[in-house]
Amino acid sequence: MTELDYHHDTLYIDGQWVASTGKDFIDVENPATEEIIGKVPAGTAEDVDRAVRAARAAFDGWAATPVDERAKYLTRLQEAMASRMDEVARTISAEMGSPLKFAQLVQAGLPLSDIATAASGASEIRWSEQIGNSTVVLEPVGVVGAITPWNYPLHQVTAKIGGALAAGCTVVLKPSEVSPLSAYLLFEAIHEIGLPPGVVNLVTGYGPTVGEAIASHPEVDMVSFTGSTRAGTRVAELAAPTVKKVALELGGKSANVILPDADLTKAVKVGLANCFINSGQTCTAWTRMLVHESQYDEAVAIAAEGAAAYTTGDPNEETTRLGPLVSGAQRERVVGYIEKGIAEGARVVAGGAERPHEKGHFVSATVFADVTNDMTIAQEEIFGPVLSIIKYSDEDEALKIANDSVYGLAGAVWAGDQDKAVAFAKKMKTGQVDVNGGSFNPIAPFGGYKRSGIGRELGRYGIEEFLQPKSMQL
């Protein structure tokens, strides 16, 4: 197995690897070892301007490229990335700590699905239709600025790039400065397949410099952002003066509602897995488990026992189920929430704030009992392996608690009767609900209600997000 080189000194602009106009670099840390393993350029506003101009120059040609030709490019990109799956998994495991098995299955697997579904979804779009005396056509928005987070560093990129390219848009990407390395593998593949120069551009750097330059650039027609609600608000503010379209996929505080007639053991165990996936660094994580008062003590016991099996350790080891958090700052943030939960009266039944290893940004799988929905740990997104178990007395109270959140990204409901579960799911104010363990669907629309965001990604809906209608009255 060859050693991967994580040191990059160029950006990708107008079909070429070029130096940044700045001289600074960003160190990339392995969060399991706390060692610096690579670097990327700290891009500048001038770099963003170069990339936007390249994307603008390429737009007309790419938009005019037939839909099936755009789909063929995406298919070739998917094939090129499929041959790099091992590199992608190893890179993401190194840069943000995902256990290697999870990185291979999800961190490397989902991007392939994103690209493939974008290629196939283009044919599902109704590009033109007749409405009365009008012909209505869908046209690409234009130049898209894509700003992505560190927790699923390649999936979040391909979800945006796939939809934008299928729609006929051109793109300027800023990946997270915390985990930017996997984006370079994608752009090596983009270069390899011969995507026309300027169609997709890569500018690495910090949010206040590169991200803000993208969001405020007058020649960017749309910004697609995934990250915290606080940062998303800032993106929207910067985009407002030029009235550009904004798509935001933000935070979550999802409820896992277990109704009394559900299979309690299964619902609790699946709920634990969902909460702790990617070390809890998942915006859709079911971090609030709602259990009927008659089953509460049993559920707490099942959860406490189950959490003990989520072993932390070297992401390369087969037995590791929880990798480190992405950074020291993130670990401090999560530990602070655990301490706050204890201070507000919640009871730790598994895990806790203690450091499980001398080195690495690890936090043990933590379960809180005796949580009320007004506690900080039940209201704010922690983004770590922390579960709050909340008691309810009847279904009306369960629904009230589930919807008592500023977020609305995901959720779950379990019941012995499927129709009953679906009826409950319809009343949950959230963008997606898993019913009795229904699996993630990569072609269904993904996005949130309330402060969890604006717009949708994935599948046909994810392509339509990058389109705008034109009516021609005949």
Q: Which residues are catalytic?
A: 249, 283
Q: Which sign does the torsion angle of CA 247, 249, 251, 256 carry?
A: positive
DSSP letter for each residue of 264-286 = HHHHHHHHHHHHHGGGG--TT--
- Nearest Cα to Cα of residue 219 among 48, 12, 47, 56: 56
Cα 37 versus chain centre, distance: 23
Neighbours of 190 (CB within 10 A): 23
Q: Around Cβ 353, how many Cβ atoms within 10 Å?
A: 16
SS3 148: coil
Greatest pairwise CA separation for the chain in angstroms: 72
Q: Which residues of 201-229 are buried (b: 16+ CB within 10 A; e: fewer)?
A: bbbbbebebbbbbbbbbebbbbbbbbbeb
DSSP code of residue 207: I
End-to-end CA distance of the chain: 63
Determine whether 120 is exposed, middle or buried from the number of CB atoms within 10 Å of its CB (0-12, 13-18, 19+): middle
Half-sphere exposure of 312 (CA within 13 A, CB side): 25
Tokens of residue 375, six digits:
């506690």
d(CA 438, CA 329): 34
Helix (H) or strand (E) holding 25: strand 25-30
